[in-house]
Amino acid sequence: MARPAPEVAPDLLGKVLVGPTGRVGRIVEVEAYGGGDDPASHGYRGLTPRNRSMFGPPGTLYVYRSHGIHWCANVVCGEPGEAAAVLVRAVTPLTGLAAMYRDRPAARRDRDLCSGPGKLCAALAIDATFDGQDLLTPPEGPAVRLLDDGTPPPVDPVVGPRVGVGRAAERPWRWYWPGVEHVSHPRRVRPA
């Protein structure tokens, strides 16, 4: 995890994200955000109370609220103090689907449960309670975990520009698993 976000991001494809209540999803879409050299990054203008966790050690969970509505989960990477992170944009739901549907009543199909950063946080019950938590060596009790179950990342992930950013939008720092229906915006990418 102590590498630049664009290097870490594609390696997170295929990893397993476990929510604090045991709901599980496989990561299928991610976006990289650099630190001070990335104008789209929350760390671009420096340390604030909101982005403090983003400046933490690699493997830390950075959770923030987007537009005052949805929680978003990021895996901190790079060196401590760099403010680099990878936004988890989508997961394929694996276990706990009944609870996911309960917390995401607008979802009509499995592919709608976790096909976006806010959707996956609602489905996995991830919120600001877990901001700053170590994902790799989580504490006892309810926690968010990042696991490697041996599933390799795709050989040829699809690469494209990040979604919903105004600055540095041209950077091809979004990756997703080709052929997976759970991604958030499948038309906005090109093959690697």
- DSSP letters, 125-159, are T--GGGTT-BSSSPPSSS--EEE--SPPPPSS-EE
Tokens of residue 123, six digits? 């489905």
Least confidently predicted of 81-95, 140-154, 176-190 = 176-190
Per the prediction, the chain carries an average pLDDT of: 90
What pLDDT is recorded for position 72? 95
pLDDT at 191 over 70: no
Q: How many domains does the chain have?
A: 1
Burial of 76 (0-12, 13-18, 19+ CB in 10 A): buried
Q: Which residues contact 86 (CB under 8 A, 6 or more apart)?
A: 5, 8, 9, 12, 30, 31, 32, 33, 74, 75, 77
Q: How far apart are CA 91 and CA 15, in angstroms?
A: 9
Q: How far apart are CA 23 and CA 145, in angstroms?
A: 10
Show the domain range for 66: 5-191
Q: What is the CATH number of the domain that holds 96?
A: 3.10.300.10
